[in-house]
Structure 1
Amino acid sequence: MPAKMIETRLADLGLALPEAAAPSFNYVPVTVHRGVAYVSGQMPKVDGEVRVFGKVGAEVDLETAREQARICVLQGLACLKAALGDLDRIERVLKVNGYVASAPGFNGQPKVLDAASDLLVEVFAEAGMHARAAVGVAELPRNAAVEIEMIVAVRDE
């Protein structure tokens, strides 16, 4: 496999990884155990801050929520790069859990999370296909619209 294949693919898609966000509370962004990396819930931060606030289906429209989901994935990949040293160590995306702050009656959580899933498949091809949960919630930290956590299989160094 060519060196830095995943980062090259990101660049080809016109995407850049943000700086991995430092945790604000008592947790670590990524833990790795027995070949599996668990990525803590990622907020859609731009330049270190959540910029879109509220519930999807009220203050936040579907397309904006989908973009927020993509930002969460990029944050997660930045955390994985910081933890693993190289995104090419990711063998497969196993599972994505997505949480969508939802207004009463909004049931488009799968459509929001499809943006995250689509991005992972664009970046990792078949290895980006994953199991998933798309969950509507009443509130998220920092009044964010979307939060995403990921589980990935990791190759040895």
Structure 2
Amino acid sequence: MTDWKLRLEEAGYALSNPPTPNGRYRPFVRVGDQLFIAGQTCMRDGVLIHRGTVGVDVDMDEARRAAALCALNTLAVLEVATDGNLDAVRAVKMTGFIRCVSDFSAQPAVLDGASEVLETALGDRGGHARAAIGASALPRSAPVEIETVFAVDGQFQ
């Protein structure tokens, strides 16, 4: 087992197979040393694990778990994109969309669930810039979706 998978397992996270695209797009695209991972929701084995609106039927703990699952799906796609060599990547940017009520303002706290997964798996290379955005609707009624950008085979700072 690779070091990053072992770190995830020790932290209580379970990696699954990468989700299949929910439309006509690619799960990832590499341009130069940048790897763009398509938006990931909280699917596991084709089933949406968390569903609803944060602040109505999804509480903060569940929203953070949903965000963590989004990040685990991101890592599953990243593993495919890099042929398993996550030692050659660095997280650059995460954009998170949180389906929430209009007066909800803790989007960054929800997205911390995803950031923690990347930092657990990649260590210092998991730290990233980030935007947390409230949304009125997301695919399949998911409470969280994230998209990410990674640097590959580059000089990391």
Aligned partners of 2:19 and 2:45 also within 8 Å: no
CA–CA distance in structure 2, aligned partners of residues 23 and 113 of structure 1: 22
Task: Give the one of 81, 86, 100 matched to 2:98.
Answer: 100
Report what 2:144 is aligned to: 146
Q: Which residue number corresponds to residue 11 of structure 1?
A: 9
Distance 2:54 2:91 in 1: 26
How many residues are aligned here? Answer: 154
Q: 2:124 aligns with which of 123, 126, 142?
A: 126
| CA distance in structure 2 between the partners assigned to 1:120 and 1:52 by the alignment | 20
Instruction: Check whether the contact 2:19–2:44 (CA below 8 A) recurs between aligned residues.
Output: no
Pick one of 71, 74, 77 that aligns with 1:76.
74
Per the TM alignment, residue 4 of structure 1 is displaced from its structure 2 partner at its CA by 2.7
Preserved contact between residue 90 and residue 152 of structure 1 (Cα < 8 Å):
no
- Asked if the contact 2:33–2:152 (Cα under 8 Å) also holds between the matched residues in 1, the reply is yes
1:28 pairs, out of 23, 26, 29, with 26
Q: Partners in 2 of 1:43 and 1:131 — Cα distance?
A: 19
- Give the ranges of 4+ consecutive aligned residues of structure 1 lying more than 4 Å apart after TM superposition: none
Which amino acid in the other structure matches residue 33 of structure 1?
V
Q: Distance in 2 between matches of 1:7 and 1:87?
A: 11
| Aligned CA-pair RMSD | 1.6
CA 96–90 in structure 1, closer or farther in 2 if over 3 Å, else same: farther
Q: 1:88 matched to which residue of 2?
A: 86
**In structure 2, what is the Cα distance between the partners aligned to 1:125 and 1:21?**
24
8 Å CA contact 2:8, 2:117 repeated in 1? no
What TM-score do you get using the length of structure 1 for normalisation? Answer: 0.91
Q: Which moved more, 1:111-120 or 1:69-78?
A: 111-120
Moved more, 140-149 or 118-127: 118-127
CA offset digits 1:51-92 (Å, max 9, x no partner): 322110111111100000000000011011112211424421
Identity %: 36
